[in-house]
Amino acid sequence: MIIVHCLPTYLDYNSIANKFHLSFMKIFLATKNQGKIKEFKQILSKSKVELITCNDIDIPDVEETGTTFVENAILKARSATTITKLPSIADDSGIEVDFLNGKPGVWKI
């Protein structure tokens, strides 16, 4: 789940390019994953958005205390927005296997 936080608005992944590129010149991507950074740079390449990442501004890791992937993504996006003062995109993901009663899930062993 990818969350965009912009005090106090949240948008899903499919809305990012449609709504944000007209409103903001800079967006912070709260990830150190180079693949995700490359993907978002490509998504936003034809817009006037400048993508700022953890390569540009080092932010501390956020304790993932949420009970769902969505809650953890919101925690990360809120923290990034508070630190950078920019609209922020964050995500959290993992594997939940029905046969294993949802494990490994949000809290990895």
Q: Which residues are catalytic?
A: 92
Nearest in space to 63 (alpha carbons), one of 29, 107, 95? 107
Q: Which residues contact 77 (CB under 8 A, 6 or more apart)?
A: 3, 4, 5, 10, 30, 88, 89, 90
